[in-house]
Structure 1
Amino acid sequence: MNRGEVHAWNILDRQPIIVKWDEGVFTEISATNKKPEQDKWIGPPLVDLQINGFAGIDFQQDNLSVDQLIHATSGLEDAGCSKFCFTLITSEWDLMTERLAKAKQLRDKHTKLQKSIAGWHIEGPFLSAETGYCGAHPPNLMLEPTEALLTKIRDITGSDPVMLTMAPEIEGGLSAFSTARELGFQVSIGHTNAPDNIIRRVTASGSTGFTHLGNGCPAELRRDDNILWRALDSPNLKYSLIPDRWHVSPSLFRILHRLINKNSIYYTTDSMAAAGSGPGKYQFGHLELEVGEEEIVRLPGTANLAGSALTPINCIRYASEMLRCDWQDTWKNYSIIPAEFMNLITGFKIGAPAEFVEVETNSNNTIKAINLHRY
């Protein structure tokens, strides 16, 4: 269907709206006084900047296929996510770059994957090797982020959007942030124990993210000086949070939303293969992880979390539950804000691609179903 229109409630402002499209782009977006007949909501699709795998598919494998990528992408679409950053975590450098090149090749050959894989997120190996701060990343594989290594990533990805998570305090870290920006990467601080002055030097130089705040650090921290306080005290950061109720506790989640400007927060699932698949054993790079009934993903024999089994639509559900607010109030943080941070085209704009989600609710405003539409 190349042409159509829909009359529903706008998720972003809760007002009635009429949206029309033709030849795959929005042609009219207008408010109306006429109320929709059903509890039907429309809004921009969800956007996730950190997907390590989904629906039983591990993105860290060497023999990833088109069919596997399409399966994972279809699962994300069923959960309302139209665009995501394919994420690779710390491994042997040659393996990482080979996996990135293979994924790029697969994506570029298939239209569906081109629409869904909006960019790449490289989380490691330019992280802290310090115990607790490296998280599930093997500390022995950390590398200095030289210009040659960063240029290799750009050579593989071409002009695609790339997010690069790094620890600025490591050897060569500060200069790497500068080089990454020159190469057109979106930079994000993460898995770090950087002192305050180092963080501020990074944020003073341009747009900067902070990858999954509250994670990538030891479970126990000094109360007077720690990476959480330093990150919260630094200006111009865009913070990602994982709303699965485990990576960040409900009380901390609410506190962070009171301390941080809402437009400086975006959500991510940080999902791995178990997301959308249920309990069981799953591969995550070099690790075999077991996921229980509560969908908690931990390193074997430890309390350390390793990715999540969270699905995109449950990201919205759990975020609103923890904040004790309507789900509509959290939508922008998982759609418009991450898309803008990575300079992706999405949202309700005339001339933009006709992509939107349709959400059905029951009488108490609980989400019953979600459908992603692309024309």
Structure 2
Amino acid sequence: MILTGRDWDAPRQIEVEIRDGIIERVEECESPAGSADEPVLAPAFWDIQTNGRWGHSFSSPSITVEQVVAVIRAQRGLGAARICPTLITAPVAGTLHGLRTVAEACEANPDVDRMVVGVHLEGPFLSDRTGYKGTHPAEAMRDPEWALFEEFQEASGGRVVLMTLAPERPGSAEFVRRAVASGVVIALGHTAADREAIREAVDAGATLSTHLGNGIASELPRHPNPIWLQAAEDRLFASLIADGHHLDREVLRVLARAKGWERLILVSDAGWLAGLPAGNYGAWDVDPSGKIVLAGTPYLAGSTQGLETGLRVLDEVIPSFPRPLLDTVTVNPARLLRRPEPKLAVGEPADLVVLRRQGRGLLALEKSCVGGEWFDRTD
């Protein structure tokens, strides 16, 4: 298969030839670069925080291997070739079941194993304070325990690569040191931490703020507070949910500028109800606008949108397509997780997307290729 389009990394037209799931040739076309709204070829996305789909949560005590496989494969139609299935706070037995099920799905399906960069554990070592805990069950939260983490890691088959915790929890700094030494990336999130706790965690090796600006109380001191303290910490990447609901556009602009493009990562934070029609699902409402809330309240409980929406909103706020905008879903998450940076080059896996931009904030995913197989865009 041969594709022609604008290069995401240079003002030129390129031809990309794919054979047997690998990029076999990348050559500049003799034709001029063409118009700005022509298709752009770029590496497929990385989503390091996605919780499930179609009513299936990776954290569910009843999730099956078949459901995990279906949810992970569905990411291909959203432009994502590499993901971190994310498990939120749950009773220990439920977390162990989720981790074992993800591991079994990977071991039985090479394509799924290739897509899963690793597991993101968002909890249970988070703040149980109202506002900061979000929709995580406070009764399942606890202080960091290395023995428990080892149990989680064993259940996952060594696949936990990212963990979010609240650094004000007793024992956090030592836990961070041990986790980082073992190869796990530590993020701060759902936290009411003060300056000292954040500094200690970062000194110990924490390198990310999870969904900065969310998972936090609605009323805060003007300054300092956990948002400003983390935004100002240059050693921290920041993941942001730019779905148009979790962060106002002005806040998104400020946080993006504070972190700089090289430390900015977009995540979908897609909830377990993503892909389902708008309506009530017991304790949860799926809003037609694409957000999930606690039923009858304005309190956010995840998103139904893919990374395409986040890129479109961020492009509207700070136009920067194709790069560095696309770095937020490709190069930057790979750097955070210490993986090779995705690129369009000979010998690389045929994981790429075809995008079209017709103006500021008018960015659309047309189709995606994962492992050499093409997928139409999924709504």
Scaled by the length of structure 1, the TM-score of the pair is: 0.90
SS in 1 for 2:303: coil
2:84, 2:120 within 8 Å by CA — same for their partners in 1? yes
Change (3 A) 1:206 1:17: farther
1:302 counterpart residue number = 297
SS in 2 for 1:307: strand
Query: Which residues of structure 1 form unaligned runs of 5+?
Result: none
1:135 Cα deviation (Å)? 1.2
2:355 counterpart residue number = 359
Q: Provide, for residues 181-223 of structure 1, a one-character-per-residue CA deviation record: whole Å limited to 9, x for no partner.
A: 1222111011112221221222233351110000111011110
**Equivalent residue letter for 2:349:** P
Deviates more, 1:190-199 or 1:200-209: 200-209
Structure-to-structure mapping, 1:245-264, within 5 angstroms: 245-264=244-263
1:79 counterpart residue number = 78
Deviates more, 1:353-362 or 1:74-83: 353-362
Deviates more, 1:144-153 or 1:271-280: 271-280
2:131 counterpart residue number = 132
**Equivalent residue letter for 1:231:** Q
Structure-to-structure mapping, 1:304-319, within 5 angstroms: 304-319=299-314
CA distance in 1, matches of 2:104, 2:69: 14
Q: Does residue 7 of the first structure (1) align with residue 4 of the second (2)?
A: yes
Q: Does residue 17 of the first structure (1) align with residue 14 of the second (2)?
A: yes
1:24 Cα deviation (Å)? 3.0
1:56, 1:282 within 8 Å by CA — same for their partners in 2? no
Counting matched residue pairs gives: 368
Scaled by the length of structure 2, the TM-score of the pair is: 0.89
CA distance in 1, matches of 2:320, 2:274: 24
Structure-to-structure mapping, 1:1-375, within 5 angstroms: 4-35=1-32, 39-160=38-159, 162-206=161-205, 208-282=207-281, 288-324=283-319, 326=321, 329-345=324-340, 346-360=342-356, 366-373=362-369, 374-375=371-372
**Equivalent residue letter for 2:305:** L
CA distance in 2, matches of 1:364, 1:259: 22
Q: Provide, for residues 40-65 of structure 1, a one-character-per-residue CA deviation record: whole Å limited to 9, x for no partner.
A: 21101011001111244322222323
CA distance in 2, matches of 1:239, 1:364: 23
1:116 Cα deviation (Å)? 2.1
**Equivalent residue letter for 1:145:** P
Q: Provide, for residues 303-350 of structure 1, a one-character-per-residue CA deviation record: whole Å limited to 9, x for no partner.
A: 321111112222222221233554665211112211221134433243
Change (3 A) 1:105 1:266: same
SS in 2 for 1:332: helix
Query: Which residues of structure 2 form unaligned runs of 5+?
Result: 373-379
CA distance in 1, matches of 2:20, 2:7: 22
2:105, 2:113 within 8 Å by CA — same for their partners in 1? no
Q: Provide, for residues 114-169 of structure 1, a one-character-per-residue CA deviation record: whole Å limited to 9, x for no partner.
A: 12222100001101112221111122211121110111122123343510001111
Q: What percentage of residue pairs aligned between the two structures are identical?
A: 26
CA distance in 1, matches of 2:197, 2:359: 50
CA distance in 1, matches of 2:252, 2:352: 28
Change (3 A) 1:355 1:310: same
